[in-house]
């Protein structure tokens, strides 16, 4: 069971709500609540607020298990900096195959503390020459595996025929755009809906790594 699911179940039982009662308060179906609690699905960020209100807990606690930040008790405005949880995100090497990007992947290279709202954060050291104009090789990019809805202009990690690629999504026509020297890498046009692994959130530079020559 996902950790968030355990917290939802714990808070629901503390309120003595059934899954059906919580579902009615949040505006979803009972099976949806069951999927949350079993870890099969994770609520979207806007739904997390509705769940927190229904269970009378803080959204920060549902997401991170934290009640307070170093600055003291949380304010009711979750958009403020002090209400944003500090998450230790695991950083992994660039995967050779998409199957490596699972919850059971090998031990992280290290962790980076990031203050952000993310449900399933992880980070990769970028090794994708098609994105050289966006990121130096070795740049750490933070992703959220819970954000897979496609929006024009955003960067996503895709499973492209078993390989992991980072590209910018464009609408009309649907395409995956590289960010390299013109003509060096082709724009990809998927036949159908592409397989989205995660959405890119932030990038940072690991100063312990030598800069590429």
- The predicted model gives 123-137 an average pLDDT of 89
Strand partners, 110: 91
Backbone angles phi, psi at 146, to 5 degrees: -85, -10
Distance of CA 149 to the CA centre of its chain: 11
10-36 tens-digit pLDDT: 899 999 999 999 999 999 999 999 999
- The answer on 169 and 112 residing in a single domain is yes
The stretches of 27-95 forming alpha helices (DSSP H) are 30-38, 45-55, 59-64
pLDDT given at position 140: 93
Mean pLDDT of the chain: 82
CATH at 148: 2.10.109.10
- The answer on 133 and 197 residing in a single domain is yes
Flag whether 72 is in a domain. no
Question: Is 27 within 8 Å of 50 (Cβ atoms)?
Answer: yes
Flag whether 81 is in a domain. no
Q: Work out the percent of the chain whose per-residue pLDDT is above 90.
A: 36
- The answer on 105 and 157 residing in a single domain is yes
Question: Is 202 within 8 Å of 142 (Cβ atoms)?
Answer: yes
- The answer on 100 and 57 residing in a single domain is no
78 or 133, which is more confident: 133
Flag whether 105 is in a domain. yes
Flag whether 75 is in a domain. no
- The predicted model gives 48-59 an average pLDDT of 88
**Would you say residue 104 has pLDDT above 60?**
no
pLDDT given at position 69: 41
**Would you say residue 60 has pLDDT above 90?**
no
Q: Choose among 40, 6, 32, 44: nearest CA to 22.
A: 32
62-101 tens-digit pLDDT: 876 665 443 333 444 444 455 566 778 888 888 888 887 7
- Rounded to the nearest 10 degrees, the angle between the axes of helix 3-14 and helix 45-55 is 30
pLDDT given at position 75: 41
- The answer on 176 and 143 residing in a single domain is yes
The model scores a pTM over 0.85: no
Task: Report the b/e string of 121-145 with b at 16+ CB within 10 A.
Answer: bbbbbbbbebbbebbeebbbbbbbb
- The answer on 182 and 142 residing in a single domain is yes
Q: Choose among 73, 83, 2, 85: nearest CA to 37.
A: 2
Q: Tally the domains of the chain.
A: 2
Backbone angles phi, psi at 99, to 5 degrees: -65, -20
Flag whether 136 is in a domain. yes
Flag whether 187 is in a domain. yes
144-172 tens-digit pLDDT: 887 888 999 999 999 999 999 999 999 98
The verdict on whether omega for the bond into residue 136 sits within 30 degrees of 0, i.e. cis, is no
DSSP string, 141-155: EEEETT-----TT-E
- The answer on 49 and 95 residing in a single domain is no
| Domain membership of residue 169 as a residue range | 86-204
By mean pLDDT, which of 3-12, 94-103, 134-143, 183-192 is the weakest? 94-103
């Amino acid at each position: 069971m996902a950790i968030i699911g355990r917290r939802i179940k714990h808070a629901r039982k503390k309120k003595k709500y059934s899954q059906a009662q919580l579902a009615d308060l949040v505006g979803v179906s009972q099976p949806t609540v069951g999927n949350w609690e079993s870890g099969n699905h994770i609520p979207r960020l806007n739904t997390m607020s509705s769940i927190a209100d229904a269970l009378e807990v803080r959204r920060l606690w549902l997401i991170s298990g934290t009640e307070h930040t170093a600055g003291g008790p949380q304010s009711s405005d979750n958009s403020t900096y002090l209400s944003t949880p500090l998450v230790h995100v695991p950083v992994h090497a660039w995967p050779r195959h998409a199957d490596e990007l699972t919850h059971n992947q090998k031990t992280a290279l290290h962790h980076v503390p990031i203050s952000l709202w993310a449900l399933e954060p992880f980070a990769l050291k970028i090794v994708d020459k098609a994105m050289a104009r966006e990121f130096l090789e070795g740049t750490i990019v933070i992703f959220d595996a819970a954000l897979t809805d496609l929006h024009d202009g955003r960067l996503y990690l895709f499973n492209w025929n078993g390989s992991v690629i980072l590209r910018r999504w464009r609408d009309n026509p649907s395409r995956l755009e590289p960010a390299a020297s013109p003509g060096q890498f082709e724009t990809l046009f998927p036949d159908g809906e592409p397989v989205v692994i995660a959405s890119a959130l932030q990038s940072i530079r690991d100063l312990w790594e030598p800069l590429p020559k």
